[in-house]
Amino acid sequence: MVTLAVNELGRVDVLVNCAGTTDFIPFQDLDAVSDEAWQRLYQVNVVGAFHCARAVRAAMLAVGEGVIINVSSVAAQLGQGSSIPYCCTKAALDNLTVSLARTLAPQIRVNGIAPGFIEGRWTQDGLGEKYSGIKQAYERTLPLGRVCQPRDIADGIVSLITGSKLVTGQTLTVDAGMMIAGFQVKFD
Q: How confident is the model at residue 80 (pLDDT cuts 50, 70, 90)?
A: confident
Q: What is the pLDDT of residue 127?
A: 86
Other C-beta atoms lying within 10 Å of the C-beta of residue 174: 19
Measuring CA to CA, how many Å separate 122 from each of 81, 126, 133?
Answer: 14, 6, 16
Model's pTM, two decimal places? Answer: 0.92
42 is known as an active-site residue: no
Q: Could you report the per-residue pLDDT of 7-36, keeping only the tens digit for each?
A: 999 999 999 999 999 999 999 999 999 999
137 or 182, greater pLDDT: 137
Measuring CA to CA, how many Å separate 68 from each of 28, 29, 35, 113, 178?
Answer: 35, 35, 30, 11, 25
Region of residue 154 (phi > 0: left; psi between -120 and 50: alpha; otherwise: beta): alpha
Q: What is the pLDDT of residue 185?
A: 59
Q: Domains for the chain: give ranges and CATH numbers.
A: 2-181 (3.40.50.720)
Q: What is the pLDDT of residue 181?
A: 86
Q: What is the pLDDT of residue 126?
A: 84
Q: Could you report the per-residue pLDDT of 62-71, keeping only the tens digit for each?
A: 999 999 999 9
- State the catalytic residue, choosing from 42, 86, 131, 138: 86
**Short-list 115, 97, 96, CA closest to 22:** 115
